[in-house]
Amino acid sequence: MEYEDVKDELLSVLDTGLKFATRLDKSAEYEVYLYYRNVARAEIDQGVVTAKDGIVAGNAVRAAKGKRIGFACASGVSAERIKVSVKEALSVVNGVTAEDDKFEGFCEAKKPGRECKFSKEILSIGVEDLLHHGQKMIDEARQVDSRVKVVGTQCSASWGAFAVGNTRGLQRASRSGRNVCGVDVMSIEGEERKTASKYDAACDRLFTTEGLGEEAAKDAIKQHGAKKLDSTAVMPTLWKQEAAASYVLIGIGQGVLGRAVVEKTSPLCDRIGDSVASEGFNLEDDGQRVDGLGTESVDAEGLPQQKNIIVDSGTLKMFLFNSYYGRAFGVESTGNCSRGAPVFGEVTPYESSITVFTKGLAVAPGSKTLDELVSSVDGRAVLITDPPIGVFHSDPSTGQFSVVAKSAYLIEGGAVKHPLQPVSVAGQFYEGLKNLAGIGNDVKLSPYGPRCPSLLFDGFSVVG
């Protein structure tokens, strides 16, 4: 398939699949999902090259009779492969007696939103190009300092589309693409091993590798000579963009998802209209941002993605839903249906049942630079530059977290003094947002989704 035609081709096969399903058993209603992705990927790890170039394609079918639901999936997007899934899903629904009380049918058609702005230059990127870019980052990092001993790179480019339709008249498709590059560096001095990473990702332009290797190498090197904090205290912590993004994603980013709200595992489920953060904190999930990596015209069940204001001036305004959890909560979908919800790693969407996830989580910038946030600290504080170990395993249902920051620096007297040996930081995600002491103006896209500025928190326990 070609980029220009991929939506039309998927929609044509989708229509064929739905007609077949209806002829097979008119007493059921059906939803068919098709996924097609052209993926090129290249990794270099200590001289070992791993390259992949190919198509990921598959289909998923849900069949429903009343409140009984069957799910099946198969690789491939041909009419014959869809028929395999239709028959299996129908067999499942005919064989089960359990009912889902929350299920009220598939969704009705609505006007779609817009796709992301896509640079067609990405279409021409091949594995050889990706390897070339990776080697450039490696060479750049190694030229910085002889202590740079380990360098690895990952580069990828992908484009494709998905189509989704049901027997209620909905048939929608959306295209997107992206390219991503990253470099990981380890600097070794004596017994010290210090690491740093840099990356770039975009859908509307080619990624930029220039300077990434050098920046990562310099960040790793300046961590040498780390000293113990030699303290156990409650003190301010300044989380740079990537670290702050991990905090937001795993805390409030999970707490506002429809499943957690409906099942009452979120501490926020009864907090609409309440103050949940400092007045300067604003959070949105924008599935229509023109350069958003999660932007599509429709979500994974065919409803339009949209811009959702979650927190406005510290006040919780809304939750995020697909149609299933939205109906259970008594509201409409917010366009946040997803198939699989990875924070890291890969998920093959057609193999996953529907869920709720963010599309373009973003914290609005504040007014201060990073240097101004540092200088605003009275006394001692800790600067955390990378996502701390354990943050992605924290429990958003309680909000409690205890993490280890390996890339950390002491702030004292309004200035960054020196690198620190690993420190433990513990606190509560939601209370932390209420104790925000400063928000940076340095918004940056994180490699796992959210756009976030640096955030200065007060009141966490720090041990080092």
At which residue do the structure tokens 């064929």 appear?
A: 16
- Written out in words, the top-level CATH class of the domain with range 6-221 is alpha beta
* 345 pLDDT higher than 60: no
Residues 344, 433: contact at Cβ < 8 Å? no
* pLDDT computed for residue 208 by the predictor: 97
Average pLDDT of the segment spanning 353-373: 97
426-435 mean pLDDT: 96
Mean pLDDT of 336-347: 76
Tokens 């028959």 -> residue: 87
- DSSP annotation of 53 reads E
Q: Residue 448: what pLDDT?
A: 82
Overall average pLDDT of the 122-137 stretch: 98
Per-residue confidence (pLDDT) for residue 344, from 0 to 100: 58
Query: Where in the chain are the domains?
Result: 6-221, 232-463
Mark residue 345 as left, alpha or beta (left: phi above 0; alpha: psi -120 to 50; beta: remaining).
Answer: left
Per DSSP, 202 falls in state E
Mean pLDDT on 348-376: 96
In sequence order, what are the residues at sequence separation of 6 or more whose Cβ sits closer than 8 angstroms to the Cβ of residue 183?
Answer: 134, 137, 138, 141, 151, 152, 153, 197, 198, 199, 209, 212, 213, 216
Helices (H), 123-211: 127-142
pLDDT tens, 375-420? 999 999 999 999 999 999 898 899 999 999 999 999 999 999 999 9
| Torsion angle of the four alpha carbons 448, 454, 456, 457, in this order, in degrees rounded to the nearest 10 | -10
Q: What is the pLDDT of residues 176-211, one digit of tens each?
A: 999 999 999 999 999 999 999 999 999 999 999 999
Instruction: State pLDDT tens for residues 297-334.
Output: 999 999 999 999 999 999 999 999 999 999 999 999 99
pLDDT value, residue 447: 83
Exposed/middle/buried for residue 262 (C-beta within 10 Å: 0-12, 13-18, 19+): buried
pLDDT of residue 343: 65
pTM above 0.75, yes or no: yes
